[in-house]
Amino acid sequence: MLVRLFKTRFDPETKGRDRAFPKALEQAVRVVEGYNTGHRHLDELRRVIFHTCLCFIRHTLKTNFFVLEKHAPPCHADRSSER
């Protein structure tokens, strides 16, 4: 789910990324918030990790992950939202 969200946002071969990303993000947030395996402590820990991944994807401005020849860091994040 998180990999699919990342691809939806940044894969240049994905058509209609700007329209598809908000919908995919909403779906991913619902899945993360509803994550329940019956192991309360582990589920809470995993939800924190998943929310951190969602935050990373949301605040990444651009990436060269899909570029074959890389000459720069793989991701650039929006640092204006740091506390």
pLDDT in tens, 21-70: 999 999 999 999 999 999 999 999 999 999 999 999 999 998 888 888 87
Nearby residues of 37 by Cβ (< 8 Å), 6 or more positions away: 43
Q: What are phi and psi of 34, to 5 degrees?
A: -95, 5
Provide the pLDDT for residue 4. 94
Amino acid at 56: F
Where does the pLDDT of residue 83 fall: very low under 50, low under 70, confident under 90, or very high at 90 and above? low
**Which position has the token pair 């020849």?**
69
Q: Which residues form the domain of 27?
A: 2-81
Provide the pLDDT for residue 30. 95
CA angle at 51 for the pair 3 and 10, rounded to the nearest 5°: 35
Instruction: Tally the domains of the chain.
Output: 1
Provide the pLDDT for residue 81. 66
Instruction: Check pLDDT > 90 for residue 72.
Output: no
Question: 10 is written with which tokens?
Answer: 């940044």
Q: What are phi and psi of 22, to 5 degrees?
A: -60, -40
